[in-house]
Amino acid sequence: MLRPLPLHAQETELRGQVSESAILFDQQQRARKTANGQAQPVAATPPAPENRTATYLPASAGAVPDDADPDNTGAPTSIFDPPEATNDPFGEQPAAAPPRRPSTAKQRAADADKTKDETADKKKPAKDTDPTTTGTTSADATADDTDQDTANRRALTIDSADRQELDPGAERTDAIEGLKKDPEDDPFAAPGIKVGSFLLRPTLEQGVTATSNADSSSGGKSAVLSETALRFSATSDWAQNSAVVNGYGNLRNTISGQKIDEARGRIEGTLNVDLDNELRAIAKLGYEVAPESASSPDAIAGVKSQPIRQTIDGSLGVEKDVGKLRFALTGAVSHDMYGDAELTDGTVLSQKDRDSTLYTATLRTGYEISPAITPFVEVEVGRRAYNQRVDSGGFERSSTRLGARAGVEVDMGEKLTGEFSAGWLREAIDDNRLEANAGASVNADLKWSPERGTIIGLTGKTTIDGSTSPNESGDILYSGRLTGERQIRADLTGNAVLGLDWRDYTGSDGHDMTLSAEAGLTWWLNRYVGLTSRARTEKLTSNLPGRNYTANSVYLGLKLQR
């Protein structure tokens, strides 16, 4: 129990079993080299204890010799030396030293030194050697012995291999901030605001309009107006389904000239959801508020301001593909509400008899000739129901709607997309004294990009407008717009619009034709602020009395976007 055993540190990979005799021999060799001033050849093994001198040579100043031989035998002893074996068969024998496990860190350091030495040897020029020798000079041998003796192999640590000097020839990698970025396609596009899972892009525009006809009517006068417009779009970033919300609002107030104080706006949302069995559902919902146009056939004369019309509309459609066949069924509802009209004499004229709801259902069937072209046919049925079955003139205005169209869908990527259709549309009024509103139906929504930065659009729409005027059924309005947008420079955008409206009155040969043209420029000072301007002209020509007018206007304003 009291016999000393080797310490744990001497059994690990960091150090082996070291005796005091080996340490003393190492110190004597270092002292001999220091005294001679040059490297001396070192014996492969230390001499026997009886042949070594007992003179103590300190390794550093102030060191004192240990009691190396307390028994006066001439051989140093240490508590680290194992006890001598005896012939006592019952005596406790010393435990055998466990085999040393090679050090991982030491091996890595040795490999690194070996590689470094090999590289240095390749770079060194060849030395002259004596042909009578084996190619090694005495100076080289002395230097190698000195390096081997002075290197303390026990000083290696686990992380010594990782603490090697850096290679001066290694190339330095540039900082991430200095890397070149790819140029943006549109450096002045709105970056947007992240709101939940939607990306919101608002735009605010404030400017002044000088116009020759403030309310676009036959009796309109010139005025200078302040215009404020707010537009926004929000797009979802969902993985599968998608949602889009768009809206705008516009305020016009008179600075000088004819009195104008009106507000209008609209907001609409679209939700596209993928269902099971390759079904897709598309839902839309919108709300619009705007004053009755002074050029409308139902405009009321002698009022302070035209009545406000509110429209709530929505639709739900289901689409399914069966091979190359395309099927779609859509149901839609649109409800119009009119406010009261305030006359110049202070009286109020109710417009409740104009409130109505239109219900429609449309079935479309198409066949995909190619991924880019899909012809289709569709049938539409519906019912227009007025809130008051009989209006103030004693007529039943509710009607039944029937329509049929044929067209084609085009999908050529960014080059050309959209659809065009033509057919026939009819609304038969319940009152037999009124003629049905019927006529050709044309609808279009196409976008064409002849080159990058240029977009040309064509939109067309056919609308049946009812009437509450005595003995009048209403009219059919055909509206078409040809639009163009061109990115002249990165910070300069131009746009132009050509418009044509044709109104055909039912039961008479009366008609209106409206031509309009508009051109504008927007110069972006930076990504968020721009200067915008536009010029517009509009002219209505009618074969009915009191309908003609011309309006010219110029606008200049500041545009903010985010």
- Whether the model clears a pTM of 0.85, i.e. scores above it, the answer is no
Q: Are 314 and 331 contacting, i.e. CB atoms less than 8 angstroms apart?
A: no
The pairs formed by 520-525 with CB atoms below 8 angstroms and a separation of 24 or more are 520/494, 520/495, 520/496, 520/555, 521/492, 521/493, 521/494, 521/495, 522/492, 522/493, 522/494, 522/495, 522/559, 523/491, 523/492, 524/188, 524/491, 524/492, 524/493, 525/491
Asked whether residue 250 is domain-assigned, the answer is no
Q: Is 371 in the same domain as 506? A: yes
Residue 107, domain member (yes or no) = yes
Is residue 467 in a domain?
Answer: yes
What are the two backbone dihedrals, phi and then psi, of residue 433, each rounded to the nearest 5 degrees?
-75, -15
Are both 465 and 329 inside the same structural domain? yes
Which H/E stretch holds residue 94? none
- Per the listing, tokens 């395309």 go with 326
Instruction: State how far the Cα of 521 lies from the Cα of 535, in Å rounded to an integer.
Output: 9
Q: Within a domain: residue 263?
A: no
Domain count along the chain? 2
Cα(500)–Cα(477) distance, rounded to whole angstroms? 11
Strands 511-524 and 529-542: antiparallel
Domain limits at 472?
280-288+307-552
CATH number of the domain enclosing 347 = 2.40.160
Q: How many residues belong to the chain?
A: 562
Half-sphere exposure for 477 (CA within 13 Å, toward CB): 12
Cβ neighbours for 104, distance < 8 A, ≥ 6 positions apart: 13, 158
* Residue 254: strand, helix, or coil: strand
What does the DSSP assignment read for 198-245?
Answer: EEEEEEEEEEEEEES-TTSSTT---EEEEEEEEEEEEEE--SS-EEEE
pLDDT of residue 44: 43
Could you tell me if residue 271 is inside a domain? no
Q: Determine the Cα–Cα distance for residues 215 and 538; give it in Å rounded to an integer.
A: 12
d(CA 205, CA 186): 20
CB burial string 8-17: b at 16+ within 10 A, e below = eebbeeeeee
Q: Is 517 a domain residue?
A: yes
For 248, the enclosing helix (H) or strand (E) is strand 242-257
**Consecutive sets of 10 residues in the chain, 562 residues long: mean pLDDT of each?**
50 50 67 56 45 51 51 49 50 50 53 56 46 44 47 53 61 58 74 91 95 89 94 91 95 92 94 88 95 84 84 95 93 93 83 92 95 95 92 88 95 91 95 92 94 92 88 92 93 94 90 95 94 96 90 96 92
Q: Is residue 208 part of a domain?
A: no
- Residue 181 is predicted with a pLDDT of 62
| 388: in domain | yes
